Structure 1
C-alpha cells in the first residue's frame, strides 16, 4: 500500500503517518511505501529512518507531472490501496485518476472540523469514485462532513492516536525551569501547537493577562512556531506580559517538557481532535480547554477536564483558577483523563485503520 503525504512541514498529521507506518510495519502481510514531497519534513524523516519512500517535486496542487508520476509509481510497485493524508494528496489522487486513469482505491484522512467548500469541484472531489472511505479523526469531523457526502457510508470515525507508553512514563526533568529560570513556586501553564489562527493563542494571552491581574504568579509557556509568532509576541508585550509569557519555539523534546506543566490550557478555535490535549492528558496534566470540535470528545466537562466557550478568556480564566485553587479536583480530573485516554493509543488507531483498509480491499475484490 502507498501513503501519500504532500505537506512540506511537520505537524500533527505527519506524526500520525509516522505512528501508523510504525504500527502497520508489525503486520507481516503489509508492504508500505511513502510518497512525499521532495525536501519536505516527511522526506527527511523517511531518509533518516530508512523508510521505503519516493520523493517527488510537488510544485503546486494541480501539478499534472506529479499526478502522472503517482500513476507510474502505483503501476511499478503494484499498489493495491492508497491512503491520502492531506488535501493536496487528495487533489493529486483525483487528478491521477481523471487524467491518467489511475484506479487504485483510496482512503482519505480528514483531520479538520470545518465544512467542505460549497462548490461543485469540492463536492466532486470528496464524492469521487476512487475515494472509498473517508477517515474522520473525531465524531465532530464526521458530523461536519455529512452534508457534503452523497454516500455517507464512506465516512468512518477513527480517532488519531498518541504514544501512550512514552507519555505515561514521561517525568519532569526541570528543563523549562532551568532554561527560563522559573521558580519552583511558579506554576507553569502551557500549550503546544503551531502558532496559527486555529489554535486561538490570542485568547491564551488574554487569559494569561486576566490571571496575572488576579494575582496568579504563573509562567505561561507556548511551545511551537508559526506565522503568527511576531504578532503574538507584540500582543503579549502590549498586554505587559513579556515577563510572564515564554515563547519556547519549536521543540523536538516536547515529551520531556510536558510533564513540567502544572496545567494545560488549550484555547483552540477549531480542532479536529486535539492531539496536544490528548498528550497532556496522558501525562496526567489537568486540562482547561475550549469546546472546539473534537476536543469535547477528549475533555468531558467536569469529568476529564474543564471546558469553556471558544474565545471566552474570562471563562477560561475562571476554570484555570478552579484547578489551581482546588488541587484535589485537578488531581481527580487528571486521573479520570488518564483512564479515558486509553482508547486513543496509536496501536488502536492502527488497528481500526487496518480494518478500514481490509474493508475497502474486500469490497474491491
Structure 2
C-alpha cells in the first residue's frame, strides 16, 4: 500500500522537516511507494487558519489512503508525535495566551491522539505526557527514537574551513549550539554557562532568531564578545558539528531534538536538559536538571583542560549514535505500518 506522509510546512530548516526528508529518502532507497503532502494554503493567512485548512485539505481527500502524519490532524492512521504534546509544552513554559493558534493546536491534538490507530512517540517522556494529559492507553503508543544518517566526516578539514571563514585559532576547543528560536532552546542559559568557563575555547551559535541583537548584547555583557560567534541559519551545519568538541543544548522543552543525534554522530560530547527526550540516550552526568543547572560546569571545565578525556568522550558519543541510524528508525516504523495495514 502507498504511504502518504503528511507535514504542513515544507521549510528547509526544522527538526521535523529534516526527519521527514530523511524518512522519505530512506523509503525511496528501500523501494517503498510513498508521497509527501504539504499544505496548499497561502502563507499570508494566519498560522491558526493554515493549520485548520491543512486538516480539511487532507481529511476531505483521505478516502482509503494510509496516512502517516507528522502533523496534528483529525484523521491519521499513524501519528508521529514529533512536535511533542502542546498541552504539556504550554504548562512547562507557563504559556497563558489568547493566540488562537494554541487553542487550535489543543483542539487538533486531542482528536489526533484519540483518532489515531497508533501513535509513535519519539521518547519515553512524550509517551508519558500523552498518557497523562489525554488518558491514551499505553498499548496504543510505540516509542521509536529518531534516526540520522551516519556519515564519516573530516574534523580537521572542517575546523580549517571554519578557521579560515571566521578567523579563529585552530588550537581552540569549539563549543556549539544549533537551533532556531533561541528563547525556548536555551541560548541565554548556553551563554551564562560559557561565562563560567576558563581556557582556550570559542563558541558558535548556529540558527535563526528574530531578536539576534538581544543575544549578542547578552554575550557582550557576560564578557563573551570575543568568544561567541552568531552565524544565523546555515546550510552547512554538518561542518560545525564535525569541527566542534562539545555540543551544549540547554533547552526548555524538546520531544527529542535531532540536533543531539546529529552532534553525537559527528563525535561531539553532548549536554542537554532532562526536558529534552533525547537526554534518555545520554550518560547521566551529561544531563542538566533544567536550563539553569550549573552543575555540569565542572564536567565541562574538565573536558576543556583534559584532552585525553575529551577524546575518550567523543569516541563514546559516536558509539551512542551508531544505534540510531535512519535505517533502524524506518524499519521500526515500517513494522508498525505493516501491522496496521493487516489489522
Instruction: Indicate whether the TM-score tops 0.5.
Output: yes
CA contact (8 A) 1:223 1:251 kept: yes
CA contact (8 A) 2:251 2:276 kept: no
**Do residues 107 (structure 1) and 107 (structure 2) align?**
no
**SS at structure 2 position matched to 1:150:** coil
**Do residues 292 (structure 1) and 275 (structure 2) align?**
yes
Distance 2:20 2:205 in 1: 25
Range with bigger deviation, 349-358 or 115-124: 115-124
Distance 1:123 1:169 in 2: 39
Shift of residue 323 of structure 1?
0.9
Distance 2:86 2:196 in 1: 33
Distance 2:167 2:5 in 1: 43
Per the alignment, residue 237 of structure 2 pairs with 254
CA contact (8 A) 2:199 2:304 kept: no
Distance 2:309 2:122 in 1: 29
**Do residues 333 (structure 1) and 313 (structure 2) align?**
yes
**SS at structure 1 position matched to 2:155:** coil
Distance 1:36 1:61 in 2: 16
**SS at structure 2 position matched to 1:359:** helix
Per the alignment, residue 35 of structure 1 pairs with 37
Residue among 81, 84, 87 paired with 1:116 = 87
Distance 1:171 1:281, change over 3 A: same
**SS at structure 2 position matched to 1:314:** coil
Distance 2:186 2:246 in 1: 17
* Unaligned 5+ runs, structure 1: 38-54, 98-104
Residue among 228, 246, 249 paired with 1:245 = 228
CA contact (8 A) 1:284 1:334 kept: yes
Range with bigger deviation, 285-294 or 349-358: 285-294
Q: TM-score, normalized by length of structure 2? A: 0.84
Residue among 15, 18, 32 paired with 2:18 = 15
Shift of residue 6 of structure 1?
0.8
How many aligned residue pairs are there? 319
**SS at structure 2 position matched to 1:189:** strand
Distance 1:162 1:279 in 2: 7
Distance 1:170 1:157, change over 3 A: farther
Shift of residue 113 of structure 1?
4.9
* Unaligned 5+ runs, structure 2: 92-102
Per the alignment, residue 162 of structure 2 pairs with 176
**SS at structure 2 position matched to 1:321:** helix
**Do residues 269 (structure 1) and 269 (structure 2) align?**
no
Per the alignment, residue 191 of structure 1 pairs with 177
Q: How does 1:301-316 map to 2 (within 5 A)?
A: 301-302=284-285, 306-312=286-292, 314-316=294-296
CA contact (8 A) 1:141 1:293 kept: no
Shift of residue 115 of structure 1?
6.0
Residue among 338, 345, 349 paired with 2:329 = 349
